[in-house]
């Protein structure tokens, strides 16, 4: 039979009940409520990233307590064989199949040929647990070794495999771009129909939105649509007193239903506690999900329960960490369906930002079918970067802007080849969406506009004012939303009643938005109307936004008043709406608020120009009454507001260039965006997404942020009380389990143990021999848990021959030729960890994590003797003679440093 990865519950029971005479024949199957992508092999023995399996020999049973046995049908169980028999059988050549549970791919060729290569690897790694940091150095080395093996082979088959390996990334990004466009098309069409369904239905084709039911009314010159029937016309007589009331009730009821369904999908399908997979480690931690023992409130982890489908795009900035399920199939389904429902309900939210998350889910799922990316988290981030670019491309019709957005905002690692693939993926997505034509207008996005007039020098001052407005709005919006989430949403009864919160916000939105035509229309449609250029003689007033007589206060003031009301209502609703448990983003509401401010200023400038055409300020217009374009001001204001809220700059500028199909307005857009970011940074250093990450307590290391270290150095934060593994002492299975449990009880599930030996010249000092991570040690101990008193060995001179595993079964399924002692943990050691001297500046340590992508750094003194790092300032306490700074605890230290 084919072994599946052992479950976390099985491993916990095995490690906590060692030395019993009971037996467990196999690890229990994974529970059905784990992540949607199964890790268990199908019946035909094939799965992604595997080769055809060969017949296997039956393995001996494993000792475990009788209480672990899931089936009472087996009253007796055989005692596990001796350790020697276990070693002989468990590591014999069983199959050439790479176990699905193996993270590091084992070498299946002649080990002697690859000794020189394998000696450069830095230890075996197991699967990353959720919220554990990626070891970029290890994954880079592993991919280099894998690629070197491919290139060393000279046969025709090997050359074909090499070509396919080089082309695999391009194949994947092509599929990702194509699928992303299809999903975006379905979401847009579904959202359009559901949004219009709140008001009525199409009598000729009920599944069509109003735009497609009445194509003749698309230009808004013809207001009536004979094929469209409202709910008030269906339920009451036209012109009746109760017509408006019935229309409001039907509008609110359907909106409430849509938002509630979206919330229910998010809560029950993407709860982070339901994504406990067999890849998880830290099963001995007191707050582990499957722990049968009750855990006190003080021992529970500080991180809140997450709902992966809720929110927008910036959570992807945690690309240096692994979050199981966040980019899975279940999240993709919930995000896509829930997004259409939530946006259609009329909430002050947008769908453009979540397209990035959806595209990343698609990229993650597609990349799993290639072993090259499935077994290398760092390499998989290359595909995710390209997917993010495709998401922005379908959201704004901006493939170049999408590539820059991926570089500027999302990607942790962005080499040149990733930039090319990202651009290619964005291009495929944009071309596919262009062919599908979701809006029926031939445009990629609804608010894509063009202007036929240039801007003038005197307009730089109002553009500058719009930049100031965008910065002030962005800073105070971020502050208000953060405080609302912290002090109201997470500190009152709303915290435990998210469905009620969604229903209250939806009802409030319907009440405030129903009467105003600009708040009632969809966010994307509102932005399009505000961006639109009023052409003389066209007859299209764009829902009254085109003032008939720009010089008349009587005509100007009602339009300005309605826009100002819409701006205030949209801004206030977005503060309380962003962060509720539905899939949605913040791009469109922010663009809408900025566009409203810009449109008002543009109308004001137009009024001044019409009233004073001979003024020196307007001499450049030459008496042209259409010299001022209010739509241009709206676009500049929208860009400024979005820059103030999200703090994006270059990518936002390029996105706006692509939206207008022109570089004519480069200077106004760049000026307003730079001013907005400068003002916003002065008022609030963190943007909305950074504040959301801080509120969610996600492990995010911002490589762009500069820290003030003062006179702090590594030796200033040193203590001498930590867990280490010493080679001059006897290390048994039981003692190592105790040490592992002590480490995990402190919450340092992403840490590990320095391995120390006595200094040959000075026996009072301890020298660094290696490092073993907590996840790797847990895995190794779960294999030998039957013999708790046996001694575990660590040999510093050991070279790694490609052994890799991530669970008990993966090592049993290993196809290695030479026998390996399961009590020799040397294959899990990192014998060349990054080290830093204790008198080094903290900036050097920071650069190790941000520039090199280190997962941990070992601290030694100037003579190579180990030191320790302080728990009070940085992280968990380390050893009497050594210190290790891991990435997650470094992030915690930086957060405390910012607060001080």
pLDDT digit string, tens, across residues 69-119 = 333 333 333 333 333 443 343 333 333 333 334 566 554 444 444 444 444
Note the CATH number of domain 714-794+829-899: 3.10.580.10
Cα–Cα distances in angstroms (integers) from residue 622 to residues 11, 604, 614, 625, in the given order? 81, 19, 9, 9
**At the topology level of CATH, where does 457-696 sit?**
Clc chloride channel (1.10.3080)
Q: How far apart are the first and last CA of the chain?
A: 57
pLDDT at 95: 34
User: Under a CB-based contact definition with an 8 Å cutoff, are residues 883 and 869 in contact?
Assistant: yes
* Average per-residue pLDDT for the chain: 77
Q: Which residue has the higher pLDDT, 535 or 490?
A: 490
| Tokens read off for 121 | 């690897």
Phi, psi at residue 484, to the nearest 5°? -65, -45
How do residues 296-346 score in pLDDT, each as one tens digit? 433 444 556 888 888 765 555 445 778 888 888 999 999 999 999 999 999
Higher pLDDT, 33 or 497: 497
* Phi, psi at 64, each rounded to 5°: -155, 160
> 732 phi and psi, to 5 degrees?
-100, 170
Predicted local confidence at residue 900, as pLDDT: 64
Q: Among 262-276, 352-366, 415-429, 882-896, which stretch is predicted with the lowest mean pLDDT?
A: 882-896
Taking residues 270-283, report their average pLDDT.
76
The two structure tokens encoding residue 734 = 């039981």
Task: State CA 838 to chain mean position distance.
Answer: 35
How much is the pTM?
Answer: 0.83
Q: What's the rounded mean pLDDT across residues 744-768?
A: 76
Q: How many angstroms separate the Cα of 109 from the Cα of each of 115, 153, 166, 801, 828?
A: 11, 11, 21, 10, 21
**pLDDT tens-digit map of 636-658:** 999 999 999 999 899 999 998 88
What mean pLDDT comes out for the span 476-501?
A: 92
User: What would the pLDDT profile of 201-240 be if each residue is shown by its tens digit?
Assistant: 888 888 888 888 877 655 544 456 778 888 888 887 776 6
Same fold for the pair 167-199+259-280+306-436 and 714-794+829-899:
no
What's the rounded Cα separation, in Å, for the pair 223 and 165? 57
Q: What is the pLDDT of residue 698?
A: 74
Residue 863's pLDDT is what? Answer: 66
Band the pLDDT of 563: cuts 50, 70, 90. very high
- Alpha-carbon distance 870 to 301, whole Å? 21
More confident residue, 299 or 495: 495
Six-digit token string for 479: 């502050």
CATH of 167-199+259-280+306-436, one of 3.30.360.10, 1.20.1090.10, 3.20.20.105, 1.10.3080.10: 1.10.3080.10
Q: Which of 44-53, 162-171, 499-508, 729-738 has the lowest mean pLDDT?
A: 44-53
Judged by DSSP in three states, 311 sits in: strand
Helix, strand, coil shares, percent, the chain, to 5: 50, 5, 45
Q: What value does the mean pLDDT take over residues 784-810?
A: 64
> Does the pLDDT at position 562 exceed 80?
yes
On whether the CB atoms of residues 330 and 270 are closer than 8 A, the answer is yes
Is 263 buried (19+), middle (13-18) or exposed (0-12) by CB count in 10 A?
A: buried
CB 125 within 8 A of CB 101: no
| Domain boundaries, given as residue ranges, for the chain | 167-199+259-280+306-436, 457-696, 714-794+829-899
């Amino acid at each position: 039979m084919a072994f599946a990865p052992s479950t976390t519950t099985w491993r916990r029971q095995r490690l906590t009940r060692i030395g019993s005479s009971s037996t467990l024949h196999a690890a229990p199957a994974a529970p059905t409520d784990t992540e949607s992508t199964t890790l268990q092999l199908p019946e035909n023995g094939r799965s992604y990233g595997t080769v055809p399996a060969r017949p296997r020999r039956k393995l001996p049973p494993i000792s475990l307590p009788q209480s672990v046995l899931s089936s009472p049908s087996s009253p007796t169980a055989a005692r596990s064989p001796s350790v020697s028999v276990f070693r002989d059988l468990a590591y014999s050549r069983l199959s050439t199949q790479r176990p699905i549970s193996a993270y590091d791919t084992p070498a299946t060729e002649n080990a002697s040929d690859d000794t020189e290569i394998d000696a450069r690897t830095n230890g075996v790694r197991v699967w990353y647990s959720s919220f554990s940091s990626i070891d970029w150095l290890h994954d880079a080395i592993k991919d280099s070794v894998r690629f070197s093996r491919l290139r060393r082979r000279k046969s025709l088959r090997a050359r074909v495999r090499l070509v396919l390996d080089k082309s695999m990334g391009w194949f994947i990004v092509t599929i990702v771009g194509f699928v992303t466009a299809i999903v975006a098309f379905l979401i847009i069409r579904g959202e359009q129909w559901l949004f219009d369904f709140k008001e009525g239905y199409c009598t000729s084709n009920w599944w069509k939105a109003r735009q497609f039911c009445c194509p003749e009314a698309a230009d808004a010159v013809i207001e009536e649509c004979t094929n469209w029937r409202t709910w008030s016309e269906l339920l009451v007589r036209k012109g009746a007193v109760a017509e408006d009331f019935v229309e409001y009730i039907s509008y609110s009821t359907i909106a409430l239903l849509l938002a509630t369904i979206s919330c229910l999908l998010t809560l029950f399908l993407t709860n982070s506690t339901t994504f406990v997979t067999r890849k998880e480690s830290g099963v001995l931690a007191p707050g582990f999900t499957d722990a049968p023992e009750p855990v006190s409130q003080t021992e529970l982890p500080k991180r809140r329960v997450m709902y992966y489908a809720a929110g927008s795009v910036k959570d992807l900035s945690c690309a240096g960490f692994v979050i199981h399920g966040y980019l899975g199939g279940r999240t993709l389904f919930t995000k896509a369906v829930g997004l259409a429902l939530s946006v259609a309900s009329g909430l002050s939210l947008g769908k453009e930002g979540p397209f990035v998350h959806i595209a990343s889910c698609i990229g993650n799922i597609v990349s799993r079918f290639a072993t090259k990316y499935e077994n290398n988290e760092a390499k998989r981030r290359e595909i995710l970067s390209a997917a993010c670019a495709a998401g922005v491309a379908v959201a704004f019709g901006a493939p170049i802007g999408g590539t820059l957005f991926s570089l500027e905002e999302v990607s942790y690692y962005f080499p040149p080849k990733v930039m090319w693939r990202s651009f290619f993926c964005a291009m495929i997505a944009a071309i596919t969406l262009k062919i599908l034509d979701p809006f029926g207008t031939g445009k990629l996005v609804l608010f894509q506009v063009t202007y036929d007039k240039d801007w003038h020098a005197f307009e730089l001052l109002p553009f500058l004012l719009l930049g100031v407005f965008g910065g002030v709005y962005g800073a105070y919006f971020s502050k208000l939303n953060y405080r609302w989430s912290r002090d109201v949403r997470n500190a009152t009864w709303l915290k435990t009643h998210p469905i009620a919160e969604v229903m209250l916000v939806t009802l409030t939105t319907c009440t405030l938005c129903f009467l105003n035509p600009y708040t009632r229309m969809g966010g994307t449609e509102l932005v399009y109307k505000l961006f639109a250029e009023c052409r003389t003689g066209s007859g299209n007033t764009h829902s009254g936004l085109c003032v008939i007589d720009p010089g008349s206060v009587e005509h100007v003031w009602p339009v300005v008043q309605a826009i100002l009301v819409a701006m205030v209502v949209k801004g206030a609703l977005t503060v309380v709406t962003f962060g509720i448990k539905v899939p949605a983003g913040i791009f469109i509401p922010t663009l809408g608020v900025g566009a409203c401010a810009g449109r008002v200023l543009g109308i004001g400038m137009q009024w001044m120009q019409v009233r004073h055409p001979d003024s020196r300020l307007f001499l450049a217009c030459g008496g042209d009454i259409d010299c001022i374009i209010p739509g241009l001001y709206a676009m500049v204001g929208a860009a400024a507001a979005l820059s103030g809220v999200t703090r994006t700059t270059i990518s936002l500028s390029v996105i706006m260039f692509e939206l207008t199909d022109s570089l004519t307005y480069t200077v106004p857009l760049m000026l307003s965006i730079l001013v907005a970011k400068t003002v916003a940074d002065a008022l609030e250093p963190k943007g909305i997404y950074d504040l959301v990450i801080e509120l969610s307590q996600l492990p995010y290391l911002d490589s762009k942020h500069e820290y003030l270290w003062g006179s702090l150095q590594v030796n200033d934060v040193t203590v001498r009380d930590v867990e280490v593994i010493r080679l001059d002492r006897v290390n048994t299975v039981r003692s190592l389990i105790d040490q592992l449990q002590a480490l995990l009880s402190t919450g340092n599930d992403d840490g590990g143990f320095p391995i120390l030996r006595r200094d040959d010249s000075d026996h009072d000092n301890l020298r660094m021999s290696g490092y073993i991570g907590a996840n790797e040690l847990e895995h190794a101990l779960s294999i030998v848990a039957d013999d708790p008193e046996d001694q575990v060995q660590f040999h510093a001179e050991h070279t790694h021959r490609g052994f890799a595993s991530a669970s008990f079964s993966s090592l049993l399924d290993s196809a290695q030729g030479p026998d390996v002692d399961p009590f020799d943990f040397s294959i899990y050691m990192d014998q060349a960890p990054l080290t830093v001297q204790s008198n080094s500046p903290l900036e050097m340590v920071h650069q190790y994590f941000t520039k090199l992508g280190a997962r941990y750094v070992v601290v030694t003194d100037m003579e190579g003797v180990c030191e320790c790092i302080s728990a009070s300032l940085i992280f968990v306490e380390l050893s009497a003679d050594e210190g290790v700074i891991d990435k997650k605890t470094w992030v915690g230290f930086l957060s405390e440093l910012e607060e001080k």
